[in-house]
Chains A and B, each alone.
Chain A
Amino acid sequence: MKSLEELAKIRERMLSKIALREGENDIRIVVGMATCGIAAGARPVLNTLVEEVALQGVADRATVSQTGCIGICQFEPVVEVFENGKEKVTYVKMTPEMAKRVVAEHIKGGKPVVEYTIGNAKI
């Protein structure tokens, strides 16, 4: 049974990590969560990204956030990756499985998954 004590333990654990993290969050993963994104399946994509960032141990470098309509509704779910000093990478027609791979290869491994990007995806 989950209890608030357990949440308090998570807090203890996070406190030390967060102090170290200041200023080092250089990757932003942004998911389009307007009506178009939600209808196309953005919710499981977002939740998978949040989970995988924690499970694959990259929470110290990457944050996941939400935005409104990006303007390319026909390509939703859309995920954008912003990294300091690098060009923005736009992933289109994302699924939870694709999101896992993006965290593993791009966020953790440093190599964008080219075949999922807007210029290369089979749409």
Chain B
Amino acid sequence: MKELSLNILDITQNSLAANAKNVEIVIDENEKTLRVTIKDDGRGMDEETLKRVSDPFYTTRTTRKVGLGIPFFKLAAEQTGGSLTIQSTTESADPINHGTLICALFYKDSIDFTPVGDIVSTLCTLIQSLGNVNLVYIHTFPGGSISLDTSVLKKTLGEIPLSEPEVIMWINEYLNEQYDNNV
């Protein structure tokens, strides 16, 4: 993947596929490191599955025998000297607090650090396919932070779905404006 934001898009779709109701994407940046955390309250994975998700020859897709989402993300982190960890609790193990937490750590000074890229596009793409799922996005960096909570937008929109093209275009401009004002 050319940008970390593409990995983030790919990985967050797993949360949607796992029937999450709430998804949180946090990017926490300081001078030296960048940490991406993706948290959901979906059905979770058991230990056996967890062991296999970093294996390119494990996948839940039915059209092919390879699954490269998590392996790509893990590689992107490890090639900077960082790491990727996954914690997960299945619905049957804990009917209330189940879900998955993926945390990837990157060292920004590494020559192999992939830039975050167009995160606003990733968010717009995700929001377009959210349905009833809530998404919280928080990006903190030295000197500022950006955040978005789709439940707040939904309150304003009422019965108009977030996926309406005009709404997506507004979110796109809104986020880009926040980034422009913070840089």
Contact = CB atoms under 8 A, between A and B. Distances in A.
Interface stretch (B42-50, B97-105, B106-114, B156-164): B156-164
A69 B68 CA distance: 12
B83 interface: no
B173 interface: yes
A31 to B, nearest CB: 9
Residue among B17, B152, B159, B165 having the largest count of chain A Cβ atoms under 10 Å:
B165
Contacts of A1: 177
A35 B67 contact: yes
Interface string B6-46: 10011001000100000000000000000000000000000
B156 A8 contact: yes
Contacts of B170: 2, 6-7, 10
B153 interface: yes
A98 interface: no
A18 B160 contact: yes
* A interface, size bucket: 20 to 34
A15 B160 contact: yes
A118 interface: no
Interface residues of B, number: 38
A79 interface: no
A68 to B, nearest CB: 6
A64 B128 contact: yes
A14 B166 CA distance: 9
A54 B156 CA distance: 20
A89 interface: no
Interface in B53-72: 61, 63-64, 67-69, 72
Contact of A10 (B122, B129, B167, B172): B167
B160 A11 contact: yes
A44 B169 CA distance: 13
Interface in B133-183: 152-153, 156-160, 164-170, 172-174, 177
A14 B124 contact: no
Given A7-B156, A46-B125, A59-B165, 20 more contacts: A2-B174, A6-B170, A10-B167, A10-B170, A11-B156, A11-B160, A14-B167, A18-B159, A18-B160, A35-B10, A35-B72, A38-B1, A38-B9, A43-B6, A43-B122, A51-B168, A59-B164, A66-B128, A70-B63, A71-B64
5 contacts: A2-B174, A14-B160, A39-B1, A64-B128, A71-B63
